[in-house]
A and B are shown apart, each in its own frame.
Chain A
Amino acid sequence: MTGRPVIEVAHLDKEFCLGELHRGRWAALARRLAGRPAEAGAVLKALDDVGFAVAEGEVFGIIGANGAGKSTLLKVLAGITDPSSGQAVLRGRIASLLEVGTGFHPELTGRENVFLNGTLLGLRQREIREEYDRIVDFAGLEKFMDTPVKRYSSGMQVRLAFAVAAHLRPEILLIDEVLAVGDVAFQRKCLGAMKDVAGGGRTVLFVSHNMAAVSSLCHRTLMLRQGRVAALGPTDEVIQTYIHSTEGVHARDEQGFVALHERKPLFAHSPLLLRAARLVDERELPVSSARTGEPLRVDVRVEGLDRFPSAVVGLTVRSVFDQKIFHFNTAMAGGFGSTARHAREIVRLEIPELPLMAGAYSLDLLVFEPGVRLLDRVDGAAPFDVIESDLYGNGYRGEAREGLIAVQGECRIAGEEAGA
């Protein structure tokens, strides 16, 4: 241990010029030829006076909403782009994993791509040859190494790419959202590999939206908001700050519905669409929260149910760690029998006693024909808060930190132990 931080960042700024590159180019050229300074265009500050230090062996998380500057920060640290001012010092060999599979060429075989990707990440040919068997083994693709990568499934490509990256042996590893891809088993393997890296005295910077991964891997975490450091400290505290800062971002219509399909529909030309959703309280007024032990009412605006009378509308509640907590749907509630369906209707799902502790949650909505197919799905359709209530009648207020599910129970003294 040198005692000096492995990563030291001070007063780091990064500005981007907005607007199209060549707009007014001839005019600008004329100005320059005339000896006048170029016009200053609109500027976006992607990083604004960012500073922090990371010690050797630390796993350091970086979180923040989209556009907060996380990726820009990693790009500056990786040397992909220069800062506008300030500086960052990194001590040790760096490997950046901003996107797995970068530089993979579809026409080349798995083997050729391992060498191309490895050298791209800064390895020597000799080092790759030494590690080659372990890389193939980790990826579990022995049989496919002489097949062009274009015939791989996307999961296989990710496995191969991560396998190369996991064998880089850098002293500093910069990772951006690699866990967003691949199946669950492979994600677990990647987390394990990252833990090995961290355990080996290496320093890891980990950018992610996956709070569960950040929370289980990172000792300390930095939260960025609009390019500035919004919080820095122990991971759990920073995650709490982050959760409380992400409320109230969705636009609602006059009935309190949040539109769902401004995003791309799941299937092109889908005849059935989840249009909008809202939470309502007992007076039928739109709300953004529910209370522990009290009803949760969700209204879903669906289009096209007349064409799929047997379709089931359901919701899945997730924690901030993206864990599914429970699922409930219209079939569980007994369905609608032979009632005629409409082209546009509002389906109400109601859970009379919400068994969730106070905290932040989100809703996934989906429509499917049981045993046939998925018709539409919107993940993270509605974020909502569960607010503590006096569920236990004695003023005890439970929180999601203690456990997500609110249960009722009783206690009594079951006997007396003989004194020692």
Chain B
Amino acid sequence: MSRSVREYVRRPRTGWFDLALGELWEYRDLLGALAWRNLTVRYKQSLLGIGWAVLKPVMQMIVFSVVFGRLADLPSDGMPYPVFLYAGLLPWTYFSTTITSASGSLLGGGNMINKVYFPRMILPFSYLFTGLLDLALAMVVLFGMMVWYRADMAFGPQMLLFPIFLVPAVACAGGLSLWLCALAVRYRDVHHLVPYLLQLGMFATPVVYAVQLLPERFRWLLQLNPMTGVIEGFRWALLGKPVEGWGLLVGGFGVALLLLFSGMVYFRRVERTLADVI
């Protein structure tokens, strides 16, 4: 055998910042296979199948349009409320479904974790990609709605920029998922807490309302929320809605990266004893 032999050393791990990114890359095919599994399993033996990926945000859009748009008459920055809402709802749905499923991924994958070695981070990360597929499907409806409400929309080259705003969304969802699923291994309480945190999060993010709803002196707080940047960015790129405070949105991106990095560090720490605890 002429090729170089790889050496694996098993010893107690120490140190904080060994993120093992190279290994993550080696297992990228597993990431794909798991993302595909998550997607197909979710819709197996259901009549509408993958149609649910579109139907769920659409139904939510209808309900929220009636409650928040009609009844509460929340501001939508001069746009038709349903389009305004749906453009915000899409990244938010991505964020919340990803976190909901990823935060339980370590507990749900106990059998695999106990029997096979693979970089554990792949389990929560696989849901990041599953959610993107859902999002891509639901986008089709948004484009349909944009054509319908054409009069008010600003079609232009900036539309092609919307995927950029998915980067902080993925980073933020990834970071929080790592924190939550690692915490859930020790504290099952997380499982009960996550739905309420997400509900709270939705109202702390301008999903159903425009940023202008808040008094000026509190807006910076809202804009440190990475998802604010994502949603504002979506509305800017797709609907031509002007953004105020770009600098703060960049700050939000910084927060997302911080979440991701700290999540990875904490996750690697928990990973050491994972198979013994789970």
Contact = CB atoms under 8 A, between A and B. Distances in A.
Interface stretch (B26-34, B70-78, B130-138): B26-34
Interface residues of B, number: 38
Given A21-B277, A79-B8, A91-B7, A108 B112 contact: no
A145 interface: no
A76 B274 CA distance: 12
A91 B5 CA distance: 6
B9 A87 contact: yes
A324 to B, nearest CB: 31
A52 interface: no
Interface in B214-258: none
B102 interface: no
B150 interface: no
Contacts, number: 112
A81 interface: yes
Contact of B12 (A80, A82, A124): A82
Contacts of B41: 105, 107-108
B276 A16 contact: yes
B49 to A, nearest CB: 13
A119 B40 contact: no
A75 interface: yes
A102 B118 CA distance: 12
Interface in A66-116: 75-94, 96, 98-99, 102-103, 105, 107-108, 112, 115-116
B12 A83 contact: yes
B115 A116 contact: no
A92 B3 CA distance: 10
B154 interface: no
B10 A88 contact: yes
Contacts of A107: 40-41, 44-45
A190 to B, nearest CB: 17
B115 A98 contact: yes
A99 B27 contact: no
A123 B272 CA distance: 23
B37 interface: yes
Nearest to B10: A88
Contact of B30 (A21, A90, A105, A119): A119
Nearest to B271: A82
B10 A119 contact: no
Contacts of A119: 27, 29-30, 32-33
B5 A79 contact: no
A2 interface: yes
Given A82-B273, A122-B27, A103 B116 contact: yes
Interface string A116-127: 100111111100
A171 interface: yes
B186 A21 contact: yes
A233 B111 CA distance: 34
Contacts of A77: 10
Contacts of B186: 21
Contacts of B118: 120, 122
Nearest to A121: B116
Contacts of A87: 9-11
Interface in B1-56: 1, 5-13, 26-27, 29-30, 32-34, 36-37, 40-41, 44-45
A80 B112 contact: no
Nearest to B275: A81
A102 B115 CA distance: 7
B212 interface: no
B40 A76 contact: no
A76 B272 CA distance: 11
B60 interface: no
A102 B111 contact: yes
A234 B32 CA distance: 45
Interface in A201-235: 201
A116 B29 contact: no
A91 B34 CA distance: 28
A80 B9 contact: no
Interface in B79-134: 111-118
A195 to B, nearest CB: 20
B11 A102 contact: no
A1 to B, nearest CB: 9
A81 B276 CA distance: 7
A21 B29 CA distance: 35
Contact of B5 (A122, A124, A171): A171
A201 B273 CA distance: 33
B5 A116 contact: no
By CB atoms of chain B within 10 A, which of A82, A91, A125 has the most? A82
Contacts of B115: 80, 96, 98-99, 102-103
Report, nearest first, the 10 A-B pairs whose CB atoms are least far apart. Answer: A87-B11, A119-B30, A79-B117, A102-B115, A81-B275, A88-B10, A119-B33, A90-B8, A107-B44, A98-B115
8 contacts: A77-B10, A79-B10, A80-B275, A90-B8, A91-B7, A105-B37, A119-B29, A120-B118
Interface of A: 2, 16, 21, 75-94, 96, 98-99, 102-103, 105, 107-108, 112, 115-116, 119-125, 148, 171, 201
Given A78-B116, A80-B116, A89-B8, 20 more contacts: A76-B10, A80-B114, A80-B275, A81-B274, A82-B10, A82-B12, A87-B10, A90-B10, A91-B6, A92-B5, A102-B111, A107-B41, A107-B45, A108-B41, A108-B44, A112-B40, A116-B34, A119-B27, A120-B112, A125-B33
Interface of B: 1, 5-13, 26-27, 29-30, 32-34, 36-37, 40-41, 44-45, 111-118, 186, 272-277
